[in-house]
Chains A and B, each alone.
Chain A
Amino acid sequence: MLEFNPQLIVFFLFAILTLGGALGVVTNRNLIHGAIYLIISLFGGAGLFVLLSAPFLAAVQVLVYIGAIAILIIFAVMLTRSMTSMRELYNRQWWISAVVAVLLFGLLVLGVIGPVWVADEEASQPVSDLVATTQDLGVALVDGNQYVLPFEIASLLLTAAMIGAIVIAREDD
């Protein structure tokens, strides 16, 4: 049923990286190792973006998540020495995160499977028409009819967060 082609092999490779890395994050006691596993997982995600012909998202994934966020996580962990050698794997809130994770997973599965399950002939489009280019993405972010408002709100939020960080970090003088 599954056709054997190189793309499939690459997909499984990246899927294993993503899932294996994610598993490593939650099962590892050493926080630095956890952060490295997180990077592996994110890298797998970037690979999946490439397979979905979204190279821009892949590059941004590497730039923002690996190049900035993961580095900051490692930085923070290293600066707090006691965090690098944690003894226990779970804390008391494990069940809350378990519930949230299961709910989120259920939602995602519904979101992905749902449209396929109830697909009718009219709504289904060939995938080739749906593939958006980087240019489409750029236009969509500044088009008044599309996502310009969420885009601006997100920018404002980030700026506010940045100013807030500066205010917190500033010494009183």
Chain B
Amino acid sequence: MEAQCINILETLAPCLVRGGMDPGLAQFLSIAAGVLIVSAIPLVSVIIFIWIERKIAARVQDRLGPNRVGPFGILQNLADAVKLIIKEDITPAGADRLIYNAAPIIAMLSVILIWGVVPFTPVHIGADLDIGVVYVVAIGSVGTLAIMMAGWSSNNKYALLGAFRVVAALVSYEVPMIVALLVPLMLAGTMSMQGIVEAQQGMWFVVAAPIAAVIFYISNLAETGRAPFDLIEAESELVAGYNIEYSGMKFGLFMASEFLHSFTVNLLFAIIFLGGWSGPFVHQLPILGVVYLAIKSLIPYLFTIVLRSTVPRVRIDQMMAFNWKFLVPVSIINVLLVAFVLKIIQELGLSPSPENVHDFAANVPQAVILLATNLLMGLVTLNVLRNAGRRERIADQARALRTAEQRDSAIVPSAS
């Protein structure tokens, strides 16, 4: 089928062909422009993200934040970037030069490559892979490798210790994240990112699968090293962590990739649970989708920032216990429960048919039943947690009482 030239923003290649260009060349140019734009957007926008984060963190801590360079200090990070670039580039003695230099690039790459499958609008997507979600998870796991490489090649014990800790945490938190992702995949019936957004035209998945959404959000906090899971750079314990030996722009790449990763996972959250680009009039004017997507991903992102500047850091053992003893079981039970209930709903004929999936009313019965299931499960979980907490507290008090008694009985004879 020959694509028609409707609008230069949506159909670049056919428009170039109509302008008298060789079709092969037009195709190539269109793809090259797409790659350039998709990889440039995150690199440029990370400057804005860092500014937003610094401003909000400053407000939370009763400061003003950057306010000297440009209006509201918005150009502060450009100045910082210039500083990072002109700083001396130091490679520590005994460092493994090749791995040391490759690590920051891989860290950045592992984030930017995710943007290749992000559906910005109904027509703008880098590549609408059949396996979009698996691709995202796979690319994300490469970031772990970059941290490992950085920690080992720096030839520094703190860097190595930091890398160990981070990698252990990242590998663990991948488990509940992937399991939680299964729920929206079941609801959408596809792994393509565009397909997931299409399936949410009638109802966002956050309504039908709130528990999966919360688990996905929490494990993403850990994956991106955000508070309360920011062990990735525990300044007070590990000096800085895996990137301690890096200076200049190499450090800048690590920092930028961290900020960008934090926004990127919220972008994924918006796509998978908040309906992505969907919104009013988006089919008439596809470019509106970018605006909707930006707003939707900024909401969880702002929440992440406020969280980062308000909560304390957890210990590594608490972090691991929380993952393996709470998140993983809850996410697995959630998947089983949703799969079971979803099948019943489908057998009863209450789920929306492929024709009216875009219709809000048709989605209501399924969403309501799933929401009720989720709420029930949430209540049970909270109850179990409360009982466990009470038992723990009683045991703790008994222990304290025992030690106090022992101390008293030890003191009394010596006093007499």
Contacts and interface: CB of A to CB of B under 8 A. Distances in A.
A68 interface: yes
B139 to A, nearest CB: 7
Contact of B138 (A59, A74, A134): A59
B239 interface: no
Given A60-B134, A63-B138, A71 B152 contact: no
B130 interface: yes
A71 B148 contact: yes
Given A32-B152, A71-B144, A71-B171, A78 B164 contact: yes
A149 B131 CA distance: 25
Nearest to A84: B152
A126 B224 CA distance: 46
A60 B152 CA distance: 26
Contacts of A78: 152, 160, 164
A11 interface: no
A141 interface: no
A36 interface: yes
B145 A70 contact: yes
A55 B164 CA distance: 31
Interface string B130-154: 1100110111111011001100100
Interface string A50-81: 00000110011011001110110011001000
Interface residue range, chain B: 20 to 34
Contact of A63 (B99, B137, B149): B137
A133 interface: yes
B152 A134 contact: no
A74 B141 CA distance: 14
B144 A134 contact: no
Given A55-B129, A55-B131, A60 B148 contact: no
A62 B149 CA distance: 17
Given A66-B142, A71-B144, A36 B149 contact: yes
15 contacts: A33-B99, A55-B131, A59-B134, A63-B141, A66-B138, A66-B142, A66-B145, A67-B138, A67-B145, A70-B145, A71-B141, A71-B148, A75-B148, A78-B152, A134-B131
Interface of B: 96, 99, 129-131, 134-135, 137-142, 144-145, 148-149, 152, 160, 164, 167, 171, 174, 191
